[in-house]
Structure 1
């Protein structure tokens, strides 16, 4: 075996890292005895060297030549021979499939003399091969725009021998004009340049973009497959085709695909010809259909997954050119995996391990019809904050949203960024797009909880003050239709066709199996009974985070809350809090009722107070009238509450220290709700956890714990009841991690708020990171957005320290994570490894987390 080259006979499917997926599978099929054209694979490591040196070494060239000579002996054909020419395909193939992202060259080895000799037998076939080669070589290797070749070809109404000869001459003239050199007649010259070109395509714009958006990192480059050509266009008994072992849209077990007679593979992929259904092969060539059918399902059993196969028929002889795991819709993926399990092809472990978290998530959301996507006009992109698709009229604010909804229209809310004031518009809109914000911004967090599609941080959006927005190169008014995919982060012009995604039965079947093998408990972040019901529907084991500030977003409640904020004495503040008390109590009662006896963790009020105050003249005037405060005085108070850096300002437990009556009111509301629930359901034991956020010092915790404990004790004594209430801490600050042993001594549990901990540790604003994180990723500074996947080197080290310190005081202390990282696969694996007991995530991410946990259990 060569240092950089492996023949198909020497390789196998386990060698993807060095042979790429295509090369490894070609080798595997060869050694299974399947009809695969002879060839060899140049390793991915050779591509790495090419990227460094920008040329093939003489040693590698010599090695390539030796392997060509081996193919010549085995096929009795010779590269450059006029009488019996060897023609080759040069194709890319990375370790992870990147369909269409890199380059391919077919029919390499033909030149003037060879074309002339082949034309003695079949001039149309010979000159069409030569025409194709010059075009593909000129485009891929020399960068000549394909449109220029197409213009020449399309200028001929009839394609015959004479027109093909003219086209070839015109192609050569174009080649010379563009490259300032004549078209070479040396096949080895073509071979080395073609290999270099395929390696160079690893770094082309579309390949780099594909790797970025699909989070493909740490692979060396593309392998290069050099393979003997077989011809689907040689005669009327020849064809090219693609088929799947299962329907990629529905998952149904059937041979699904297309075939094109007297054509080469590029014709069917490019869509320049109209193929026939693969079943048409039954009537035309039944014996070939049976052979293909048999081989396809043998490959499926061998690879234990649905296969996507490229094949060529040359003069009634079938050849397999590629097999790989086929792309499929989320719904089809779940059905295929479950069916493979039921058919005994895969085990329970394999079912769990090869079910993809993205498929679980995608099965729950509406998506666009694939045909309409192919015809749609993309106008912008952003971060895919929450999956699903939506179509609607553009609205820029709550009033416009409600007006359109009242008149029966769907709406997509387009904002610079969202705030609590937008909650009603967000609730009524089909989808949300923001020009600013990151993956843990308000819009992202709230829409994920709602299960709505959301795109955030789109640099393609510019909103002005005239109720219009520029998306990409086009200006849209309010009321214009756009479509959006929160799954891909793409914005489209006009109205695309939505397809309703019903939860397939396989969804529950797979998750039920996964539940039995969880290693870390999966809880949900939920602020409303609806959120809780959704979380429990997806089998969350409780609620790990109730954000009480979200309870005040309703228009009437926010007014009471605003009046409380603006109270300048504790007496006036108590009056406002007394009005809020029954509202909060009813909210908590409804949460407890929906949650039953499962654990529920309530976080005390956390955000900066000024976020709840108005900023528009109209809203300020309205609050002024309701609060009996002059506009001038109200503006002064609003200005007084403004903070330069609110995320590090007067929030969290600091509010409780300054205004203990706020936390006392919330505690009392929880107790009232608990008593009401107990009186109605005395057999259900509530499991309530109260969580103090943003703790930075032990004294803060001690003071507030004493205040809360006293309130609980007095209430229980007065009503002669005893509740199972634990008081814990939310650690969101680096300092708190470093004193976690002290905090643990006075906490019944610890929950890590990794969104804020990431922000405080890295010094990155989670709402502004979108402006530079892509540059960081491209330069390899951060492999992932640290607000999506935990930064194990920095934030992760703080978490390790905190867990070790806390457990040194209380070995059985419950510890977990609540935040967006709780739904991320890589992060969950890290949390489990450092000893966390649970993660809590958005309801719609619970299934993903369950699946990840089950995978950990099987590995």
Structure 2
């Protein structure tokens, strides 16, 4: 049986799918005993029928609607369409949706040429009644027929006073606008008026009324309530309050109140009206506290005061600034409204800013998370930021970014293009102190925390100018010289010769996948020397250094073994007796599908494995990475494994790493704070999932 109409006092919060978010929220307020204007919701089921316009359902729905309206008539002692005591309604969409109609409420539905005079007599204010009629006509024309509001404004011009003659003229003009646009006249029959408005709100978009009703797949619920008047009469007003400050999250109610006389109050003015209306302000304070406790969220409450009586029009979770979000999350946990675990799960990356409350959340997160959060570093200042934000070390020190900077790239190229081994060695000696200085500073920042240095080994083609391009430039210069241009070609010719000679001496260098270390393995020795010289200097300064040298795997495990032996030799030469104070480790960076598939061979020689996050972006990447981790730990059960994310981490990154049993995630330094919280969230989510599985098992067994 179709549920077509639900009175607010008969609804529940669980009926949100049927009543819409607004109707369900108001029903909840009614159930809790808060003063809410009487009303009912046209359900999604009936709105869908209503739009289909079948004779049977239309007739049945009209009867249900009439009974609901009659309930409101009995409650108020008025009658819908009565010339002396007219029942007037406020109608709006009951769903919170994007678009202008979401914020539109058609007020005083039921006004026509006759009932407007009845309203005028009841409130003893005819200009106000006429203006209500004028506004209804304008909004009806826009909602039902899609006539832009500006069309009505242009016909009337600016209205600065509620002069009866001016308002009567405006009403006549607005009626003409609707008919001049080719639409039926504004309904004087209040039942038809209500039906047209319900139908328009069900479509949820003023532009949809021009489409055939059969093209609408879904009818939106419509909320209908008795009009309460906060704009005319003694002790009347309206406003919005927040249970906490929406900008800062500070405790206490804040908001704006507008009396019908038009005098406005600022954010502190709620306290000013406490003296005039202590009971009403007390009710608002009580409502804000209770609704906040029930919903465990800062509440935005819209209210109307009519003749000294308070009505709540809407209560919903407030939109807050990131600062306010973080503060209220922590305050709610400290006040016992939510648990610390619930607090952590509420944090989103967009809310994470440096505040004292965030530090509290981070401490809670560190107590929960079981994945170490490391940071990427391309410069010593990245290490400083990482420590400030609470990183537990550096997960990858990008030596390629350090040595390929604009100021250092010429030295790298000069070393690569050296004509003799002596010149190349001299070039490496120039690069060594540059790298050593950077590593020293990072060790100093990370005193006691691990620092993973990825050995510089870029693709060879990135370090050399393209020969064909050089030849084209050379030919162009020769042509220019023939025309009398004074151009020195000596350096360009020398460059072409050097590159050609290099390719002849090292044919492998022409291959696209060739890397620097393949052609000049001594680049590894230089970097190891820079790392251990930096470590030695820091050790002698009383610092604790924990170097972790990361080698990019591109071949079988024997390749890593050769590099490992080289690193051990350099460590012995540089550190000497101080080697006992420098517990370094050597790991392998796994990038690409091929290396992930052969990771078992590499794991034998590695102290740890770092997987590049780009593997996850491959087709079947998650399964590939999972298989690689399993294969590696079959060889070494306690092998330390982590993920290195170059650009961005989110909760899904940590839920995946949590499931895989990874030990650490390395992320950009600016993301460290959220990463610590996301790591804790991943643990909590896993616990909830395990709990659900256990409950299902118990239920199945029972």
- 2:414 matched residue in structure 1: 563
Select 1:807's aligned residue among 620, 633, 640.
633
Q: Distance in 2 between matches of 1:613 and 1:111?
A: 84
- 1:735 matched residue in structure 2: 594
SS in 1 for 2:114: helix
Q: Distance in 2 between matches of 1:187 and 1:142?
A: 17
Report the Cα offset of residue 126 of structure 1: 2.4
TM-score (norm 1): 0.66
- 2:380 matched residue in structure 1: 529
8 Å CA contact 1:749–1:813 kept in 2: the answer is: yes
Report the Cα offset of residue 656 of structure 1: 2.7
Q: Distance in 2 between matches of 1:13 and 1:638?
A: 75
Structure having the higher Rg: 2
Q: Distance in 1 between matches of 2:629 and 2:219?
A: 39
Provide, for residues 327-369 of structure 1, a one-character-per-residue CA deviation record: whole Å limited to 9, x for no partner.
Answer: 2222222223333333333332333233443222xx34xxxxx
- 1:853 matched residue in structure 2: 679
Q: Distance in 1 between matches of 2:298 and 2:602?
A: 52
Report the Cα offset of residue 514 of structure 1: 1.9
Give 1 or 2: higher helix fraction. Answer: 2
- 1:666 matched residue in structure 2: 527
Q: Distance in 2 between matches of 1:203 and 1:661?
A: 72
8 Å CA contact 2:457–2:517 kept in 1: the answer is: no
Matches for 1:173-252 after TM superposition, within 5 Å:
173-201=176-204, 224-252=222-250
Select 1:707's aligned residue among 552, 562, 565.
562
Report the Cα offset of residue 841 of structure 1: 1.5
**Aligned residues between the structures:** 640
- 2:301 matched residue in structure 1: 309
**RMSD (CA atoms):** 4.0
Matches for 1:148-187 after TM superposition, within 5 Å:
148-187=151-190
TM-score (norm 2): 0.80
- 2:455 matched residue in structure 1: 604
8 Å CA contact 1:231–1:314 kept in 2: the answer is: yes
- 1:550 matched residue in structure 2: 401
Report the Cα offset of residue 58 of structure 1: 6.9
Report the Cα offset of residue 2 of structure 1: 5.1
- 1:147 matched residue in structure 2: 150
Report the Cα offset of residue 243 of structure 1: 0.8
Change (3 A) 1:838 1:177: farther
Provide, for residues 519-563 of structure 1, a one-character-per-residue CA deviation record: whole Å limited to 9, x for no partner.
Answer: 322221223332222212222122112111221365542331232
8 Å CA contact 1:606–1:651 kept in 2: the answer is: no
- 1:830 matched residue in structure 2: 656
Matches for 1:388-403 after TM superposition, within 5 Å:
none
Change (3 A) 1:570 1:310: farther
Provide, for residues 10-43 of structure 1, a one-character-per-residue CA deviation record: whole Å limited to 9, x for no partner.
Answer: 4444555665543332222111100112334456
Report the Cα offset of residue 202 of structure 1: 6.9
SS in 2 for 1:585: helix
Report the Cα offset of residue 740 of structure 1: 3.8
Q: Distance in 2 between matches of 1:607 and 1:247?
A: 53
Q: Distance in 2 between matches of 1:561 and 1:141?
A: 72
8 Å CA contact 2:127–2:164 kept in 1: the answer is: yes
Provide, for residues 749-789 of structure 1, a one-character-per-residue CA deviation record: whole Å limited to 9, x for no partner.
Answer: 222222x3356x26xxxxxxxxxxxxxxxxxxxxxxxxxxx
Report the Cα offset of residue 517 of structure 1: 1.2
- 1:455 matched residue in structure 2: none
- More displaced, 628-637 or 254-263? 628-637
Task: List runs of 5+ in structure 1 lacking aligned partners.
Answer: 206-219, 268-272, 365-503, 622-627, 642-648, 763-793
- 1:840 matched residue in structure 2: 666
- More displaced, 527-536 or 185-194? 185-194
Q: Distance in 1 between matches of 2:465 and 2:297?
A: 56
8 Å CA contact 2:615–2:625 kept in 1: the answer is: no
Report the Cα offset of residue 91 of structure 1: 3.1
8 Å CA contact 1:585–1:669 kept in 2: the answer is: yes
Q: Distance in 2 between matches of 1:94 and 1:294?
A: 27
SS in 1 for 2:297: coil
8 Å CA contact 2:3–2:45 kept in 1: the answer is: no
Q: Distance in 1 between matches of 2:197 and 2:293?
A: 35
Provide, for residues 687-709 of structure 1, a one-character-per-residue CA deviation record: whole Å limited to 9, x for no partner.
Answer: 3322234x4x542x532x13321
Would you say 1:688 and 2:547 are equivalent positions? yes
Q: Distance in 1 between matches of 2:448 and 2:566?
A: 23
Would you say 1:132 and 2:162 are equivalent positions? no
8 Å CA contact 2:6–2:42 kept in 1: the answer is: yes
Provide, for residues 203-231 of structure 1, a one-character-per-residue CA deviation record: whole Å limited to 9, x for no partner.
Answer: 999xxxxxxxxxxxxxx996543333322
Change (3 A) 1:184 1:563: farther
- 1:784 matched residue in structure 2: none
- 1:445 matched residue in structure 2: none
8 Å CA contact 1:111–1:185 kept in 2: the answer is: yes
Q: Distance in 2 between matches of 1:188 and 1:743?
A: 80
8 Å CA contact 2:525–2:570 kept in 1: the answer is: no
Provide, for residues 810-831 of structure 1, a one-character-per-residue CA deviation record: whole Å limited to 9, x for no partner.
Answer: 3333222221575312332233
Q: Distance in 2 between matches of 1:56 and 1:735?
A: 62
SS in 2 for 1:708: helix
- 2:211 matched residue in structure 1: none
SS in 1 for 2:368: coil
Q: Distance in 2 between matches of 1:81 and 1:235?
A: 21
- 1:388 matched residue in structure 2: none
Q: Distance in 2 between matches of 1:322 and 1:521?
A: 44
SS in 2 for 1:587: helix
- 1:38 matched residue in structure 2: 38
Report the Cα offset of residue 45 of structure 1: 8.0
Change (3 A) 1:185 1:633: farther
Q: Distance in 2 between matches of 1:188 and 1:638?
A: 89
- 2:357 matched residue in structure 1: 506
Select 2:540's aligned residue among 675, 679, 685.
679
Task: List runs of 5+ in structure 2 lacking aligned partners.
Answer: 209-217, 475-488, 503-509, 686-702
Report the Cα offset of residue 63 of structure 1: 4.4
Provide, for residues 119-150 of structure 1, a one-character-per-residue CA deviation record: whole Å limited to 9, x for no partner.
Answer: 33342232222212222222233322222233
Report the Cα offset of residue 99 of structure 1: 9.1
Change (3 A) 1:747 1:289: same
SS in 2 for 1:676: helix
